Structure 1
């Protein structure tokens, strides 16, 4: 038969094992949160670069379009003084070719590289960047909560105060909820 002191020590040891298991689970969730956050951060950075590149391409197309349109308008104005029909025909052909190029710069669905298509692609990349950034923010908060939960739960082992373990478990559940939110509804709440 064991003494009351031995039973109390065994019960306390069992509680410590449960708290240690809680800490291990919190550490596992923290690892997943850190992985998710890093992935979201890298995706946000990649999407930001993609959007910047697409906007730069859009600007280059705009500059080219303006330059070619100006050349066509200048040649058109210069045609007034040209009386030779062959020269006028060559000039008109050149103007028509330039205006076709301007139209191609404006919209080029075959390659998805016209100005109209570039705007759509750049805005889509920005939207994906914003989603990944929101996901990263939520993972960061979840990681912080899980770290605090680990510290509080560890303090429960040292102090023997069970309420600290319950608080740690509660923070861990909240961190898990934020991780799920980050993954499945990153733009919800904040």
Structure 2
């Protein structure tokens, strides 16, 4: 007696063919998830990078204006003409106001503080999409292995291969659900 359970000739192959078709459909969805996740992660990474570059530019501008104001403040005592002194004081006040605006500009969302917040949000979205992408890649690999096992069952007639293929398909389905609903949870478990 054989130690493996064999499927009867003919009839079992239709069921396995249907299993392969379902797994292939799942593979298509998993690959769509991979591509979407990759595209979104790159887009959010680019957004974060641009926002950090903007933040750095604002920091340089702010520092330049602050240094100019400080330099003029050191020269202020040397101004003997009241109109020159008043012009210098106005310029210093304008530069300080500009430096403050570069630091926080809630109306436009382009102050340094707002840029930091926006960049961090873009990074969070990027990380979310990376976690989603990784799970879709795992699901894709599981489905591909399932297809190979189901195909091997047709050749060998070993029923356990079909059960293993179906099990991998089920696990893949759960992983895809996690990827769509809450990828961070399973991502943390895997790392």
Q: Smaller-chain TM-score range?
A: over 0.9
- Asked if residue 179 in structure 1 is aligned to residue 176 in structure 2, the reply is yes
Q: Where does the alignment leave 5 or more consecutive residues of structure 1 unmatched?
A: 1-10
Q: Deviation digits for residues 20-60 of structure 1, max 9, x if unmatched?
A: 00000000000000001110111001111110110010000
1:20 partnered with 2:17 = yes
Which consecutive unaligned segments of at least 5 residues does structure 2 have? 1-7
Determine the structure 2 residue equivalent to 1:168: 165
Q: TM-score, normalised by structure 1?
A: 0.93
- Write the distance in 1 (CA, Å) between the matches of 2:59 and 2:160: 64
**Offset of residue 12 of structure 1:** 2.7
CA RMSD in angstroms, aligned pairs only: 0.7
Aligned equivalents of 2:184, 2:178: Cα separation in 1: 8
Counterpart of 2:143 (choices 132, 141, 146) is 146
Q: Which runs of 4+ in 1 moved over 3 A?
A: none
Deviations 1:97-118 (A, max 9, x none): 1111000000000110000000
Corresponding residue for 1:101? Answer: 98
Which residue is equivalent to 2:59? 62
Length-normalised TM-score, structure 2: 0.93
SS in structure 2 opposite 1:12? coil
Report matched runs for 1:43-62 at 5 Å: 43-62=40-59
Query: What's the offset of the Cα at 1:92?
Result: 0.6
SS of 2:10's equivalent in the other structure is helix
Report how many residues are paired. Answer: 180
